[in-house]
């Protein structure tokens, strides 16, 4: 996407977009998670509007990304992929061994297209199916 700017942001910057995209019936309190203030966050901007966010949390010798959200009207336009590429570059800069997430089963093919692979077996949480996806950096 043209004119996309990705920059590191604070935890609080991510909360409203997380809520709108991931928990539309919830509240901001639903998206404030343990470790937010110690995590690293990135925001994607188009025309000075926040349109995507992703958060990185230390996990052993790697990083787990969580609360990955792109506004519905920008999905399918490369915003999420650009955010992931920035996260992978960040991990490489800091010599992080791997990045992983708990992906919804419906998103497995997307994560595979960006170079991630399934690790382990699928599991269920809150009525949704997930599987761990990882990539070595």
Q: How many structural domains are present in the chain?
A: 1
pLDDT single digits (tens) 32-60: 999 999 999 999 999 999 999 999 999 98
Check which CATH number belongs to the domain holding 24 and give it: 3.40.630.30
**Has residue 1 got a pLDDT over 80?**
no
According to the model, what pLDDT value does residue 91 have?
95
Report if residue 35 sits inside a domain: yes
What pTM was estimated for this model as a whole?
0.93
Q: Which DSSP state fits 31? A: G
Report if residue 124 sits inside a domain: no
pLDDT single digits (tens) 60-116: 889 999 999 999 999 999 999 999 999 999 999 999 999 999 999 999 999 999 999
Q: Exposure string (b/e) for 41-75, b if CB count within 10 Å is 16 or more?
A: bbbbbbeeeebbbbbbbeeeebbbbbbbbbbeebe
According to the model, what pLDDT value does residue 117 have?
97
Report if residue 40 sits inside a domain: yes
According to the model, what pLDDT value does residue 116 have?
97
SS3 content of the chain, % helix, strand, coil (to 5): 30, 40, 25
Report if residue 90 sits inside a domain: yes
Report if residue 62 sits inside a domain: yes
Report if residue 89 sits inside a domain: yes
Structural domain span for residue 22: 4-96
Report if residue 107 sits inside a domain: no
Report if residue 81 sits inside a domain: yes
């Amino acid at each position: 996407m043209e004119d996309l700017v990705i920059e590191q942001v604070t935890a609080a910057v991510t909360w409203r977009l997380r809520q709108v995209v991931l928990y539309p019936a919830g509240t901001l309190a639903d998206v404030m998670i343990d470790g937010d203030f110690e995590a690293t966050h990135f925001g994607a901007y188009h025309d000075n509007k926040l349109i995507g966010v992703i958060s990185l949390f230390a996990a052993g010798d790697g990083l787990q990304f969580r609360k990955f959200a792109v506004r519905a009207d920008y999905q399918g336009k490369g915003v999420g992929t650009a955010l992931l590429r920035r996260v992978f570059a960040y991990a490489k800069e800091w010599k992080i061994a791997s990045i992983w997430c708990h992906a919804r089963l419906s998103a497995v093919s997307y994560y595979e297209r960006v170079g991630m692979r399934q690790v382990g077996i699928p599991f269920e949480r809150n009525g949704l199916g997930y599987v761990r996806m990882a990539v070595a950096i």
